[in-house]
Structure 1
Amino acid sequence: MEQQAQTQIAHILLVEDDDDLAELIQMHIRFQGHQTTRINNCADAIRLYREQHFDLLVLDRGLPDGDGLDICYQLRHENDWIPVLVLTARGSEMEKIEGLEAGVDDYIPKPFSVLEFQARVRNLLRRTSSKPVSELQQASSTSSIDFGILKITPALHQVSLNDVDVPLTATEFSLLEFLANRPGRVFSKDELLQHVWNTDHAGYHHTVCSTINRLRTKLAQPEEATQFIQTVWGVGYKFQPRI
């Protein structure tokens, strides 16, 4: 009950065509105190998403009218960075990487652990929980992490590079914020999984690698030879500021 109290009530859109599984997932979402709406195909999911406000999308991949990843691709193309959790029977390593490259924040293969699913929902919602409007209005440059051309404003969930906004997923932002708050310190994949993804499962190492690669691409500067996020071979990753 304490975990539910720490998270605001969210509205979650579930896109799943298996009726029995959808009912089970919705039951566990409601058990966490959240609202849920279920759709069973891509077209209706996009339509409903544009009509209502949702805090999280939970997508199946094998839908009657296409791949659930198509929904994620479309939203990311429009610079919509709502958290997306894929829950699918397509659980090979390459399929997970494909999902992460599409901009998915988390990827759980079926069959899945209910406790793990609930934990990952909590984790994604916690990363994107809204602050009161008055608090956002009071946010100023003093609340930003400033590294010259790179500016991170946690209160607004905003990153800019050379004064141009950089759209990041919830996971990408959490990873960047974590590393940027500890410049120069090297973290292993296991440490990043624990602190950013709240898991100690080594099977998700590829998730760290994919997210690091996406961040590097988004923060890349053609004229610069070095990256903000650097690999320390055989050890892990670190944030190297350039001020």
Structure 2
Amino acid sequence: MSQTVLVLEDDADIAELVSLHLKVMGNEVVKGTSLEEGFRVLSERKIDAVVLDRGLDDGDGMTLCQQLRHQHNGVPILILTAMDSESDMVEGFESGADDYLAKPFSVIEFQARIRALMRRAAVHNQWHHIPAEETDAVSDELSVGSLLFNHLEISPETHSVTLGGKTIDLTPTEFSLLCCLAKRPERVFSKDELLSRVWNTDYDGYRHTVCCAVNRLRSKLERDPDMPKYIHTVWGVGYKFREAATLHRL
């Protein structure tokens, strides 16, 4: 099934290049050059992913990202921009972006990132039109029953999370990260492992991607993110999921 990608890019040549490769992958593309167009398209039709430049005609694309997350809209977002410093990337991830790719970019890497975003979104929405080569990863994620840690319940089958009976809104990437950690309590995952398992990349320049995603998860799950109960940092190594209560598989 064709999926629809919104491309917000003010450079016509780059927009055309990105659109071409998205169409080659079998996607429908809607293009825009401004925040105003982006908000309008997102309000009028179903969008499966967004490729977002930061330097749009009427402002920083990160504004759209922040507002969507504030509205609990979990549409996958890939920021594609010439702003390539580490601080720029951290800002992008902290705004709620799922991935960040700097220009100039490799077409092969761009396509791989989009496939990974689409796969996570497809599982998150219980779609069943996933390419055959990706079904093993999806099956692994869905093979575990519900996980219950005291007041926190994680259901891989329905891609839902509740805390104290209240539904917690997570993006597909945030859910995949939480599920990866929670399925193996006390097991320490390095940032490189999480990049490979969740983001489908081994580029070490994106390790801060993991840090930002963990921080976002903590802000949603932890009463005090500075004193986490569930997601713990193992300094110099990575992260692990821990809960004092016994794990129950429902």
TM (norm. structure 2) is 0.87
- Do structure 1's residue 178 and structure 2's residue 176 form an aligned pair? no
TM superposition shift of 1:71: 0.8
Question: Is 1:125 matched up with 2:110?
Answer: no
Post-superposition offset of 1:241: 2.3
For residues 150 and 78 of structure 1, what CA distance do their matches in structure 2 show? 23
1:104 to 94, 97, 104: 97
Structure 1 match to 2:220? 218
TM-superposed deviation, 1:32: 0.5
Q: After the TM superposition, which residues 19-34 of structure 1 pair with which residues of structure 2 at under 5 Å, given as runs?
A: 19-34=12-27
User: Structure 1, residues 150-191: CA drift from partner, whole Å, max 9, x if none?
Assistant: 111222221111111111122111100001111110111111
How far is 1:18 from its partner? 0.9
**In structure 2, do the counterparts of structure 1 residues 176 and 223 end up closer, same or farther at CA, with 3 Å as the change threshold?**
closer
Tell me if the contact between 2:233 and 2:239 (Cα under 8 Å) persists in the aligned partners.
Answer: yes
Give the secondary-structure state (helix, strand or coil) at the position aligned to 1:128. Answer: helix
**Cross-structure match for 2:73:** 80
Query: Is the CA contact 1:9–1:33 (under 8 Å) kept in the aligned structure 2?
Result: yes
Give the whole-Å Cα distance in 2 for the aligned partners of 1:61 and 1:224.
30
**Does structure 1 conserve the Cα–Cα contact (< 8 Å) formed by 2:219 and 2:225?**
no
1:227 partnered with 2:222 = no
* Structure 1: runs of 5 or more not aligned: 1-7, 134-141
Q: Is 2:46 the partner of 1:44? A: no
Q: Deviations over 1:201-236 (max 9, x none)?
A: 111111111111111121112499542011112221
Which of 183, 198, 201 aligns to 2:200? It is: 198
Match of 2:53 among 50, 55, 60: 60
State the superposition RMSD in angstroms: 1.8
For 1:149, the equivalent position in structure 2 comes to: 151
Moved more, 163-172 or 225-234: 225-234
| Matching residue of 2:63 | 70
- Contact kept, 8 Å, 1:216 with 1:227, in 2: the verdict is no
Percent of aligned pairs with the same amino acid:
49
Could you say which residue in structure 2 is the equivalent of 1:136? none
* Contact in 2 for aligned 1:11/1:35 (Cα 8 Å): yes
What is the CA distance between 1:132 and its match in structure 2? 5.4
Alpha-carbon distance in structure 2 between the residues aligned to 1:223 and 1:23: 42
1:149–1:224 Cα change, 3 Å: farther
Task: Indicate the larger mover: 33-42 or 225-234.
Answer: 225-234
Structure 1 residue 131, shift from structure 2 partner: 2.3
1:143 CA displacement: 3.7
Cα distance in structure 2, aligned partners of 1:36 and 1:10: 8
CA-CA distance at 1:195 after TM superposition: 1.1
Provide the C-alpha distance between the structure 1 equivalents of 2:37 and 2:186, rounded to a whole number of angstroms.
46
Q: Which residue of 2 aligns with 1:139?
A: none
1:28-48 residue CA offsets vs partner (Å, 9 max, x unmatched): 001111111101111011011
- 1:207 is aligned to 209
Contact 1:105 1:171 in 2 (8 A): yes
1:132/1:100 Cα in 2 relative to 1: closer, same or farther (>3 Å)?
closer
Cα pair distance change 1:222/1:69, threshold 3 Å: closer
**2-side partners of 1:158 and 1:128: how far apart?**
13
Q: Report what 1:165 is aligned to.
A: 167
Give CA-to-partner distance per residue, 1:65-94, whole Å, 9 cap, x none: 011111111111111111111000111111
Q: Match of 2:15, as an amino acid?
A: A
Aligned residues: 228
Q: TM-score scaled by structure 1?
A: 0.89
2:157 is paired with a residue of what secondary structure?
helix
SS in 2 for 1:191: helix
- Residue 111 of structure 1 aligns to a residue whose secondary structure is coil
Q: Pick from 225, 240, 244: which aligns with 1:238?
A: 240
